[in-house]
Structure 1
Amino acid sequence: MMIVRERQNKYIMIEQDHHARISGQLAANLKDSFFLEERLKQPVLFAIENHDFAWKMIDKQPFWNDRKQKPYMFTDFPNPAKTVFYKHGIDEVEQHNLYAALLCSEHYTRFLLNDPGEESQLFVQHERERQKQIINRLEAYDKNIFDVHYGWLQFFDSLSLYLCLNEPGVSKEDEHPFFKNGIPISQPLTFFHTKKVSIYWKDSQTVEMNVFPFNSPIDITIQQKSVPQKAIAENGLIKAYEQAELDTVSVRLT
Structure 2
Amino acid sequence: MFITRHYDGYLYIVNQYDHSIQAGEVAKHWGNDQFKRPDYFKSLCLAVEKHDIGWVESDTKVLFNAETGQPVPFLSVNLLQHVDFYGKGYEKVKEEDPYAGLLVGMHWMGLYTSRFGYDPSFTFKIPEELAPKIDEKIISMQKEWVDLKMEMWKKSGPRSQFENNLWMNYEIVQFMDRLSQYVSMHKLETTNKLIMGPVRPLLESKGVMITVQGQGNGTVVVDPYPFDSEVETTVVLRKIPDIQYESHSAVYKAIEEAEFERVTWKFVPPIQGESFKTLETESFSCKKF
TM range (shorter): 0.7 to 0.9
Q: Structure 1: 5+ residue runs without aligned partners? A: 173-179
More helix by share: 1
Change (3 A) 1:193 1:132: closer
Deviations 1:40-99 (CA, angstroms, capped at 9, x unpaired)? 121111111111111122212221223333321111111111111111000000110110
Q: Distance in 2 between matches of 1:232 and 1:69?
A: 5
CA distance in 1, matches of 2:6, 2:76: 15
Residues 3 and 209 (structure 1), Cα distance of their counterparts in 2 relative to 1, 3 Å cut: same
CA distance 1:150–1:189, change in 2 (3 Å): farther
Match of 1:221 among 234, 250, 268: 234
Question: For the residues of structure 1 that align with 2:210 and 2:26, how far apart are their CA atoms?
Answer: 15
Residue identity opposite 1:212 in structure 2: Y
Residue 19 of structure 1 is matched in structure 2 by 19
| 8 A contact 2:22–2:49 mirrored in 1 | yes
Q: Are the counterparts in 1 of residues 69 and 245 from structure 2 also a CA contact under 8 Å?
A: no
Query: In the alignment, which residue of structure 1 is the partner of 2:212?
Result: 199
- Pick closer, same or farther for the CA change 1:168–1:193 going to 2, 3 Å: farther
Counting only pairs closer than 5 Å after superposition, residues 67-82 of structure 1 correspond to structure 2 as 67-82=67-82
Most deviating of 210-219 and 154-163: 210-219
3-state SS of the aligned residue for 1:126?
helix
Q: Partner of 1:34 in structure 2?
A: 36
Counterpart CA distance in 1 for 2:206 and 2:189 is: 28
Letter of the 2:95 counterpart: Q
Instruction: Please give the secondary structure, in 1, of the residue aligned with 2:12.
Output: strand
Matched, 1:163 2:164: no
Aligned ranges for residues 140-159 of structure 1 at < 5 Å?
140=156, 141=159, 142-159=162-179
Most deviating of 193-202 and 56-65: 193-202
Aligned to 2:223: 210
Q: Tell whether 2:135 aligns with 1:121.
A: yes
Aligned partners of 2:47 and 2:213: how far apart in 1? 27
RMSD: 2.3
Taking structure 2 as the reference length, the TM-score comes to: 0.77
Preserved CA contact (<8 Å) 1:31 1:214? yes
Q: TM-score with structure 1 length normalisation?
A: 0.87
- Aligned-partner residue type, residue 163 of structure 2: K
Identical-pair percentage: 19
CA positional deviation for 1:181: 3.6
Q: Residue 79 of structure 1 contacts residue 120 of structure 1 at CA under 8 Å; is this kept in 2?
A: no
Match of 1:6 in 2: 6
* SS, match of residue 216 in structure 1: coil
Q: Counterpart of 1:207 in 2: which secondary structure?
A: strand
Give CA-to-partner distance per residue, 1:167-207, whole Å, 9 cap, x none: 221233xxxxxxx4422224x44589764212111123211
Count of residue correspondences: 244
- Residues 77 and 145 of structure 1: CA distance in aligned 2, closer, same or farther (over 3 Å): same
Letter paired with 2:143? E
Q: Separation in 2 of the partners of 1:233 and 1:196?
A: 44
Q: Is the 8 A contact 1:25 1:49 kept in 2?
A: yes
Give me the whole-angstrom Cα distance separating, in 1, the residues matched to 2:73 and 2:81: 13
Task: State the alpha-carbon separation in 1 of the partners of residues 151 and 110 from structure 2.
Answer: 22
The question of whether the paired residues in 1 share the 8 Å contact of 2:195 and 2:210 is answered with: yes
CA–CA distance in structure 2, aligned partners of residues 72 and 60 of structure 1: 13
1:112-147 CA deviation, whole Å, 9 max, x = no partner? 237352432232123112211211221335101111
Is the Cα–Cα contact under 8 Å of residues 70 and 245 in structure 2 kept in the other structure? no
Q: Which runs of no fewer than 5 residues in structure 2 stay unpaired?
A: 115-125, 269-289
Which letter does structure 1 place at the counterpart of 2:22? I
Q: Matches of 2:80 and 2:10 in 1, distance apart? A: 29
